[in-house]
Amino acid sequence: MTVDSSMSSGSCRLEDELEECFFTAKNVCKPVEELRRPPTLQEIKQQIASYNSREKNCLGMKLSEDGTYTGFIKVHLKLRRPVTVPAGIRPQSIYDAIKEVNLAATTDKRTSFYLPLDAIKQLHISSTTTVSEVIQGLLKKFMVVDNPQKFALFKRIHKDGQVLFQKLSVADCPLYLRLLAGPDTDVLSFVLKENETGEVEWDAFSIPELQNFLTILEKEEQDKIEQVQKKYDKFRQKLEEALRESQGQPG
């Protein structure tokens, strides 16, 4: 069997063209994130000036000589589960706040309670402050001793008449997002919620919490076993009754 040389060379050219098109498409269709360049100092100045002109609560941003800037963000707390805090600790005083006294470290006793739903905490942060640092700062202010991995910071935006939540990466910088969106919290706001990852991060739980989970699971398992046993006992009883009737035997 022979192959036509013209057909063979045409196939090779076609393969080369397809390969070239595929290579070009891969390089042209890059994600937007890869093409985004960091803003220049002049652009930051202009953005901060625009932001401050629209900020009505004297909470403007301040630019430093090194190009970083500081400002305020508000975080809404939407925690459905209780948090763990030290038991029997007095409220934090001004002295404690100034000296950064860690009151949680003064006792090993723990208790749990629910933080007020929709409570709002205002934070003064830098443009280099990350989401991870914001979460840790919030937990410290409320003396929450739970692992920070249990929590996540979301940005809440309004789009097409809907309220949408997007989980932020721990490396994101909330103040930069605030600057881009402007001071209007209806356009963008930050929300602290439980970290629903789809996969349980067991390392984030303490030994007593894990033991409590095991107790709950064992109880649920036993309940399910009893339900299945009752179901099949009832089914077996009906089968035996049907057999006796078919054989003409009295019950």
Average pLDDT, consecutive stretches of 10 residues, N- to C-terminus, the chain (251 residues): 43 46 41 60 93 91 94 93 75 47 61 82 94 93 87 90 90 95 93 78 73 84 92 91 79 50
Alpha helical stretches, state H, the chain: 5-28, 32-35, 41-54, 94-99, 131-141, 174-181, 207-246
Question: Cα(19)–Cα(84) distance, rounded to whole angstroms?
Answer: 58
Token pair of 3, please?
């192959």
Position 142 scores a pLDDT of 84
Q: Considering the domain 41-87+109-197 in this protein, what is its CATH number?
A: 3.10.20.90
Our measurement of the distance from residue 208's CA atom to the centroid of its chain's CA atoms, rounded to an integer in Å, reads 24
Token pair of 66, please?
């090194």
Between the CA atoms of 148, 154, 155 and 161, what dihedral angle is there, to the nearest 10 degrees? -160
Per-chain mean pLDDT for the chain:
79
Q: 9's torsion region: left (phi>0), alpha (psi -120 to 50) or beta? A: alpha
Name which of 106, 169, 118 is nearest 143 in CA terms.
Answer: 106
Q: Are 148 and 132 in contact (CB under 8 A)?
A: yes
Position 82 scores a pLDDT of 84
Answer whether 0.85 is exceeded by the pTM. no
